[in-house]
Chain A
Amino acid sequence: MSATVTPDATTITEVAPAAPRRQKWPDSSVFLQIRVLTTRSLRSMATDPGVVLFGLLQPVIILFVLTQVFSKMGAPPNFPAGITYLDFILSAVLVDNAVQSAVQSGVGLVDDLKNGVVARLRSLPIMPSSLLIARSLANLVRSAVQAVVILALAFGVLGYAPAGGATDVAASVGLTLFMSWALGWAFIAAGAWLRRAEPMQNLAVIAILPLMFASSAYMPVEDLPGWLAAVAGVNPLTYAIDATRALALGIPGADAIVPALVIGCVIAAVGGVLAVLGFRRPLH
C-alpha cells in the first residue's frame, strides 16, 4: 500500500495548478477502503462523544432503574436460585446496548446518504459495499466500548458478581458483540432501503422496545403471561439473552448458544444481502 508513496510525494509537491497531468495512483485495495472508511466512522464518533453517550443512555437507565425498582420485589417463581436481579438483567442490558448500537449503524448510513457522502463515494473507483462493511465494523467497536462502560458501572458501582469465571463472562460479552454485529446488518439493510432518518428511528422504537420486553430480558419466560411467553419463545433476542446469561452466570440455558449463533448468522447473511441490494439502487 505504501510502496508508491515516495515517487508520488515528490511528483505532487511539484504540481502547480497549471502543471501537466500526472500519473494515476494505483487503485486502493478493498481492505484499505474498508479500513479507511471504518477509521472515518470511528473518528466522527470520537470527535462527537454525544453520540456514544446517547447510545449508552437507554441501557444505563434500564440498568439503574430496573435494579432499583425490582431488586426488593419477591423473586418470581421461576427465577434462577441464588441469582440477584442485577446479575439476572445485566446480560439483557448488554444485549439492549448491542441492539441500540446496531440501530445506530443504520442511522449512520442514512446520514451518509443524506449528506452526500454516498454520492461522492459512488463516483470513486472503489467497491461501494466497503462503506457498508465499514459501518458494520464501526458498530462493533462502538458496541464494545459501550459494553466496557456498562460492565465498569455494573462491577464498580452496582456490585455485579457473575457466578461464571472471567473466561465465561468474556465469552458472554463476545456473544453479545456478535449479536450486535449481526443485528447491525439488519439495520444497515433497513437504512439502505428506507434512506430516511425518521422511519429508521420509528422502526427502532417500534421494533426494539417490544422485542426486548417480550423476551427473557427482564423476567424468566416461564413467568411471563401466556401470550407474551409465546412471543418470547420465538423471539431471537430470547436466545441471545439466554445464551449470554447462561455463560455469565453459570446457570442452565447453554443450549441456547448454538441457536443464538445460528440466528445471528442468518440475520447477518440476510441483512447483508438486502443491504447490498438496497444500497445499489440509484440515489435518484
Chain B
Amino acid sequence: MSGLPIEPPETMIEARNLSKTFGTVRALDSVHLSVPRGSVLGLLGHNGAGKTTLVGILTTALTPTSGTASVAGHDVVHQPHEIRRRIGLTGQFASVDGQLSGRDNLLLIARLLGAGRRAARARADELLELFALQDVAERRARTYSGGLRRRLDLATSLVGHPEVVFLDEPTTGLDPEARLGLWEIVEGLVTEGATVLLTTQYLEEADRLADSITVLSGGRVIADGTAAELKAAVGRRTVTVTLDPAADLESAVAALRRAALEPSVALQNDSLVIPIDASKDVATVIRALDQAGAEASELSFGEPTLDDVYLALAGRTPVPVRSGSPALSEGSAA
C-alpha cells in the first residue's frame, strides 16, 4: 500500500445511463452500476442479456453509444490507456497463444506490461505456482485441456497485478472441480484487494462469490442488491408437505385454503407446496393439517434460490430482440 502516490477512488467501477446499440439492436439500455473497491459484483443474465457488451465497454474494447462509465476513476472513452494499465480481463474464450508454452504466454504479457526480464520471469514462476501449472509450464498451450487453458488464461490476466479484474463467464465449460478451484482463486483476489466484476449464468456462482448482484435482461438492469435482498424481494419461502398415504388430499387442501394459504399440488400428488410469508405461517400450516385430520409423513422448509429470483425477474422482461426475429420471445428461461 505504501508506494501508491495517489489513493485510488473508492468506487472502482461506475456506469451511468450506459447504452449501446448495434445497428437496430439495443444491447445495453441505460445501465447504472457502482462497484466499491475490494468487492465482487456478480453480473447475472442469460445469453444476449448484454453482459459481454457491458464488459467490453468497461474494458475499453467497445465505446458506449451514450452514457458514461469509469473504471478505477478513469473515463472509458477518454482515458482508455489509464484503464488498461489497471485491469485484467478474462474473456469468454481463453485468449492464450497456443503456439507458445504456458510460461512463455505469461512472459510475453509481463514484458508487454513493462516488466524487465527478471521481473517477468519471477512473476511467471509465481503465477505458475499459484495456478498449479508448473508441471505443464513448458508445454505448448495448444496441448492443454480446457481447464488448463482457462487457468492459464486467468493467470495471464493477473500478470500485471490488476486493481480491477473482469471475468466474463470464467467457469463456462469447466468441470465442477476446476470450477471450485477457480472460485477459490477469485476469493484470493479479493483478499488481495482487487475489485472483481464477474459475469455468469450460474446462480450458484454469483451467490457464492458476489457481494452484490446485478441482474441484466434485454440490456437492462432489472434488479440489483445482495443475494439476500434479491431473495427477500422476489423469492418466497415454501413449506413442502408430503402427506401420509391414508390422508385425504382434498380436505387437506381445503383446510389450508381456509387458513388463507395457497397450496399447490406437486407432481407426485401426495405432496403439497405452500408458499409462506413468515415463519409463523409454518404453525398455521400444521394447524390446518391437524384440523383436516391429515397426517404429514414429511415436512420440509425451503429457502428461495437465486434461480427463483432470476426466473421471477428475467421471465417478465422480453429477451433481447435479435435483428430479423419476431419482437416477442418471452421468458426463454421457462
Is B192 a contact of A28 with CB atoms below 8 Å?
no
**Contacts of B93 on A, CB cut-off 8 Å?**
116
Task: Across the interface, name the chain A residue whose C-beta is closest to B185.
Answer: A17
B113 within 8 A of A: yes
Is B96 a contact of A116 with CB atoms below 8 Å?
yes
What is the CA–CA distance of A23 and B87 in the complex, to the nearest angstrom? 14
What is the CA–CA distance of A284 and B59 in the complex, to the nearest angstrom? 13
A262 within 8 A of B: no
Is A123 a contact of B99 with CB atoms below 8 Å?
no
A17 touching B130 in the complex, CB below 8 Å, given contacts A1-B116, A124-B109, A125-B113: yes
What is the CA–CA distance of A76 and B154 in the complex, to the nearest angstrom? 64
A119 within 8 A of B: yes
Is B192 a contact of A123 with CB atoms below 8 Å?
no
Task: Across the interface, name the chain B residue whose C-beta is closest to A123.
Answer: B89
A166 within 8 A of B: no
B97 within 8 A of A: yes
**Contacts of A6 on B, CB cut-off 8 Å?**
118
- Give residues 174-226 of B contacting A (CB, 8 Å): 188, 191-193
Is A28 a contact of B118 with CB atoms below 8 Å?
no
A8 touching B3 in the complex, CB below 8 Å, given contacts A115-B95, A120-B156, A283-B61: no
Main secondary structure of the interface of A (DSSP, over half): loop
Is A44 a contact of B113 with CB atoms below 8 Å?
no
What is the CA–CA distance of A221 and B120 in the complex, to the nearest angstrom? 56
Q: How far is the CB of A125 from chain B (nearest CB, A)?
A: 4
A32 within 8 A of B: yes
A20 touching B115 in the complex, CB below 8 Å, given contacts A12-B126, A44-B99, A116-B93: no
- Give residues 78-115 of B contacting A (CB, 8 Å): 81, 84-85, 87-89, 91, 93-100, 104, 108-109, 111-115
One of B99, B111, B122 near A28 (C-beta < 8 A): B111
Q: How far is the CB of A137 from chain B (nearest CB, A)?
A: 16
What is the CA–CA distance of A9 and B119 in the complex, to the nearest angstrom? 4
Is B85 a contact of A120 with CB atoms below 8 Å?
no
Is B193 a contact of A21 with CB atoms below 8 Å?
yes
A225 within 8 A of B: no
A26 within 8 A of B: yes
Task: Across the interface, name the chain A residue whose C-beta is closest to B94.
Answer: A116
**Contacts of B56 on A, CB cut-off 8 Å?**
282, 284
A121 touching B122 in the complex, CB below 8 Å, given contacts A25-B160, A44-B97: no
**Contacts of A120 on B, CB cut-off 8 Å?**
89, 91, 95-96, 109, 156-157
A72 within 8 A of B: no
Which of B60, B126, B161 is most buried by chain A, counting CB atoms within 10 A of its CB? B161
B151 within 8 A of A: no
Is A116 a contact of B99 with CB atoms below 8 Å?
no
B322 within 8 A of A: no
**Contacts of A20 on B, CB cut-off 8 Å?**
1, 192-193
Is B161 a contact of A122 with CB atoms below 8 Å?
no
Is A115 a contact of B98 with CB atoms below 8 Å?
yes
A23 touching B114 in the complex, CB below 8 Å, given contacts A12-B126, A40-B100, A44-B100: no
**Contacts of B87 on A, CB cut-off 8 Å?**
123
B257 within 8 A of A: no
Which of B81, B85, B99, B156 is most buried by chain A, counting CB atoms within 10 A of its CB? B99
What is the CA–CA distance of A25 and B119 in the complex, to the nearest angstrom? 9
Is A13 a contact of B84 with CB atoms below 8 Å?
no
**Contacts of A13 on B, CB cut-off 8 Å?**
122, 126
One of B84, B108, B118, B130 near A123 (C-beta < 8 A): B84
**Contacts of B193 on A, CB cut-off 8 Å?**
20-21
One of A9, A43, A282 near B104 (C-beta < 8 A): A43
B4 within 8 A of A: yes
A28 touching B112 in the complex, CB below 8 Å, given contacts A115-B95, A120-B95: yes
17 pairs, A vs B, C-beta closer than 8 Å: A1-B116, A2-B117, A9-B116, A17-B192, A18-B192, A21-B161, A24-B160, A25-B114, A32-B111, A37-B108, A40-B108, A116-B94, A117-B95, A123-B84, A124-B113, A126-B112, A282-B62
Instruction: Contacts A116-B95, A122-B61 known; list 9 others, CB within 8 Å.
Output: A5-B117, A9-B116, A17-B130, A18-B191, A21-B1, A21-B163, A28-B112, A116-B94, A123-B84
Instruction: Tell me the B residues contacting A by CB distance below 8 Å.
Output: 1, 3-4, 56, 59-62, 81, 84-85, 87-89, 91, 93-100, 104, 108-109, 111-119, 122-123, 126, 130, 140, 156-157, 160-161, 163, 188, 191-193
User: Which 6 residue pairs spanning A and B have beta carbons closest together?
Assistant: A116-B95, A5-B116, A8-B119, A44-B99, A25-B114, A120-B95
